Chains A and B, each alone.
Chain A
Amino acid sequence: MSGDGRNPLRGHEGDQGLALPRKAPVERRPFLEVDITLPVGAGEQEIKLESDALSVAVFGPSGGGKSTFLRTLAGVERRSSGKVRFGREVWLDSEREIFVPPWERSVGWVPQDYLLFPHLRVRDNLGYGGGSPQEIAEMAALLFVDHLLDRRPRRLSGGEQQRVALGRALLSRPKMLLLDEPFSALDRPLRNRVGTQIGTYMRAREIPLILVSHDEADAAALAQEHWMLSQGRLVRVEG
């Protein structure tokens, strides 16, 4: 995967060599820079976040705008305004009227209720965003859903649905993975196994991860960098 030019961490044309921007910061800018205003309920929520970490957890109370934050990064929340920059790509800049549509962002978004396409079998759900039959089979094995490939989502448990949704996102070769409440459905023993495998998989490909959760302990375990949403502000939490 070292030649994967789609990964912004590896730079684009004109960039020297294979050095990662955060290790050789030509511009001295963090790879993710967010400064946005989200609609939350009847009001608004400002979110300011800058990070160089490969995995970021955002936690906070339910209904605080965490899901909307992920939706904004995925490009499906048109009501948000402000600025989002990822690597060298500006995804949103309300002042300059820049908006990159979701189909050009290559993000893997796993919503809280997974949203598997109900009319497609697991196999077709997994391959919806890309992936050869062989890649689909490998991913299914990685996620322990290889025995379910011909089922419809209706006949999967919550945990199985979540794993398929995760596989579907990963097979689309995302530049960034967005997980919404990823700990809600996985059963404990499987969570550790899947968590380990996925962690390895993503580190090997250097796919940045952003997850949001209301559960601080779970969120802390998976991410390098922790942010907390409280009293209308997003603050970095050390440790």
Chain B
Amino acid sequence: MKLQTIKPEEVNVKVFMEVRRCFFDGIDWLLRLSFPSNLPVMSVSLSLNAFIRFFVSALLLTLSLPFAAAGREGPFSEGATGPLDGSGEDADSSLLILAAASLTDVLPTLAGLWEEETGVPVRFSFDATSRLAPQILQGIEADLFFSADEAWMEWLRERGGIREDTRMPLLGNELVLAVPTGGEFQPGEPSQLTDPELRLLAVAGENVPAGRYARAALASTGVWRAVEDRVVRSGNVRGALEWVALGEVDAAVVYRTDALAEPRVRIAFVFPEGTYPPITYPAAVTATAPMATRAIEFLEFCRSPAAREVFRAQGFLPPRQRAGSGAGGGPDVLPDPWSAVRISLLVALGATLAGFLPSVWLGWVLARKDFFGKSILATVALAPLVLPPVVTGFLLLSLLGSQGPLGGWLAGLGLPVPFTLLGATLAALTVGLPLYVVSVRNAFQAVDPRYEEVSWTLGRRPWPTFMRVTFPLAIPGIAAGAVLAFARALGEFGATVVLAGNIEGSTRTIALAVYTLLESPQGREAIWILVGASVLISLLALLGYEALSRRQRRQMEIRHVR
């Protein structure tokens, strides 16, 4: 293929990778620091350059995460539009289609049929509609847009993102209640959702289409007030579906097609027609489509009998009455920034306090003890530093979820972990612990073990020696680790969203609030309060870290006086 266009998203990915490389250099430096030869104190000051690079890149990375998550449009995309594709509509070029995540299973089948017929290959980018629509305005050179609702299509039309004459309703879908196959709670109609047996009900985020439809359906069937406290929000429909499939929630409001595709759930009932705005998947050719003619042909192909058959087999319905331009389920509900700041501080503080004893113990063991399996222990303790946080979150959910080996026991004690403040704190703790432990270990390593030996010869046993000599000497370094863990906990996103969900007023931290705001067309201005708050807190924390590390070094300087 001679098409060599650099998509803006690719540029962003490149910048992102570069920042990430710096970040991992920093981790490498941290790890080298953790296995020092003799003088960790010296190597700290020598690697100050690496140190600064690490934290600047870490900061950039943290800042860019919400943007990267929101469809890789962010501060790096300004003016990053690649060279325009001047080659016109070559027969061997491919179509790029942006499509709602719920079409992931069906569209590729269709594209296969189409390519057989016309020889034109199709590429896809599947994501939440709320993330795809802004990408089109950012200049992504896509040809077609398949939206999961009319609201986002309307949003694009108002901003000139689509060719209005090509816009058409393509498919319909239904809203259903999915419950775990073989679960105890098997309601037959919406009114039964008030049953106390329903403890948790998963719904997609309030600003993604599925979330709005769900809220409308629950409101108009008169159960919203009763179930409001039991609702947990996931990022998108697939997240809600995964929770119900794992049995972490008792039910989830999802699309009929999603429920059909998941063998671990069954459909308890279909929400009656009219209780929510008709679900329509509109499609349109983008205003800047490089291959507009081909794109229109593909749209027509989607309405052919053969295509209809493919859609029907997947559970999709023909489109209903074209919906008005109004958003289903009322106006967007925007997160309260101050509640997010409060929760973030609470979670970060909780994680830092709870991490104190484990970190001091682990750091000390790693600094002073030599035993079989030490490197394995170190690896496990440091793993969350390099594991994708989402993976960490998933592992935590498997362990601490109500079906997990530890979670059931904790729930029995009245301490349920998933979707609670406790869960958010544990996620932040797990992800922040490696930084904590590494700092503490370095602090202990900087304390000359001969101070302990002198203390022993003066008649103090190891434990009093630890309390009177080792620990006081390591305090600045331990405090620096606490500050670092605190800052990391503030920035935590991936593990939190999986383990604790995104619940306003309960687990929605700054990072999650930014993420949610990015999903709403109206949320983009309110973001700046949160961005400002997190930059401020992070910078203060890093300044504190620097000051404390310097203090640790100064305290040890006595050794060099002769």
Q: Chain A residues in contact with chain B, CB under 8 A?
A: 71, 74-76, 101-103, 105-109, 111, 113, 115-119, 128-130, 153-154, 158, 161, 168-169, 172, 185
Contacts and interface: CB of A to CB of B under 8 A. Distances in A.
B561 interface: yes
Given A119-B473, A119-B555, A153-B558, A107 B451 contact: no
A113 B559 contact: yes
Given A113-B559, A118-B473, A119-B555, A108 B455 contact: no
Given A106-B459, A118-B555, A119-B472, A111 B561 contact: no
A76 B561 contact: no
A108 B458 CA distance: 7
Contact of B456 (A102, A116, A118): A102
B454 A111 contact: yes
A117 B469 contact: yes
Contact of A129 (B450, B458, B461): B458
14 contacts: A101-B456, A103-B456, A109-B453, A115-B450, A115-B451, A117-B455, A117-B469, A118-B556, A119-B472, A129-B458, A129-B459, A129-B460, A153-B558, A158-B561
Contacts of A106: 459
A69 B249 CA distance: 67
Contacts of B473: 117-119
A231 to B, nearest CB: 29
Contacts of B450: 76, 111, 115
Interface in B528-562: 555-559, 561-562
B38 interface: no
A116 B459 contact: no
Contacts of B115: none
B38 to A, nearest CB: 14
Contacts of B460: 103, 128-129
Nearest to B473: A119
B562 A158 contact: yes
B457 interface: yes
Nearest to A77: B453
Nearest to B555: A118
A47 B447 CA distance: 31
Given A115-B448, A118-B473, A109 B461 contact: no
State the main secondary structure of chain A at its contact with B: loop
Contacts of B472: 119
A154 B562 CA distance: 11
Nearest to A165: B454
Contacts of B559: 113
B469 A75 contact: no
B453 A76 contact: yes
B15 to A, nearest CB: 46
Contacts of A107: 457
Nearest to B462: A103
State the main secondary structure of chain B at its contact with A: helix
B459 A76 contact: no
Contacts of A115: 448, 450-451, 454
Closest 3 CB pairs of A and B: A129-B458, A76-B453, A102-B456
Given A76-B453, A102-B453, A172 B558 contact: no
Contacts of A113: 559, 562
Contacts of A75: 456-457
Nearest to B448: A115
Contacts of A185: 562
A169 to B, nearest CB: 8
A185 B562 CA distance: 8
A235 to B, nearest CB: 28
A185 B561 CA distance: 11
Given A115-B448, A118-B556, A109 B459 contact: no
Interface in B417-471: 448, 450-451, 453-461, 468-469
B192 to A, nearest CB: 66
Contacts of A116: 558
**Residue with the greatest number of chain B CB neighbours at <10 A, chosen from A105, A128, A130:** A128
Contacts of A161: 561
Contacts of B555: 118-119
Given A106-B459, A113-B562, 20 more contacts: A74-B457, A75-B456, A76-B457, A102-B457, A103-B459, A115-B450, A117-B454, A117-B455, A118-B473, A119-B472, A119-B473, A119-B555, A128-B455, A128-B458, A128-B460, A130-B458, A130-B459, A154-B561, A161-B561, A168-B458
Nearest to A128: B458
A115 B451 CA distance: 6
Contacts of A101: 456
A216 to B, nearest CB: 22
Nearest to A156: B561
Interface in B327-372: none
Given A106-B459, A118-B473, A154 B558 contact: yes
Nearest to B469: A117
A63 B173 CA distance: 84
B458 A172 contact: yes
A169 B454 CA distance: 9
A220 to B, nearest CB: 24
Interface string B101-120: 00000000000000000000
A16 B468 CA distance: 41
A172 to B, nearest CB: 5
B461 to A, nearest CB: 5
A154 B557 contact: yes
B511 to A, nearest CB: 38
B469 A103 contact: no
Given A75-B456, A109-B454, A117-B451, A103 B558 contact: no
B558 A105 contact: no
Contacts of A102: 453, 456-457
**Residue with the greatest number of chain A CB neighbours at <10 A, chosen from B453, B458, B461, B559:** B458
A103 B455 CA distance: 8
B472 to A, nearest CB: 5
A161 to B, nearest CB: 8
A128 B456 CA distance: 11
Nearest to B556: A118
Contact of B459 (A117, A119, A172): A172
A105 to B, nearest CB: 7
Contacts of B458: 128-130, 168-169, 172
B562 A76 contact: no
A158 B562 CA distance: 6
Contacts of B457: 74-76, 102-103, 105, 107-109, 169, 172
Contacts of B456: 75-76, 101-103
Interface in B163-205: none
A219 to B, nearest CB: 20
A118 B459 contact: no
**Residue with the greatest number of chain A CB neighbours at <10 A, chosen from B451, B454, B457:** B457
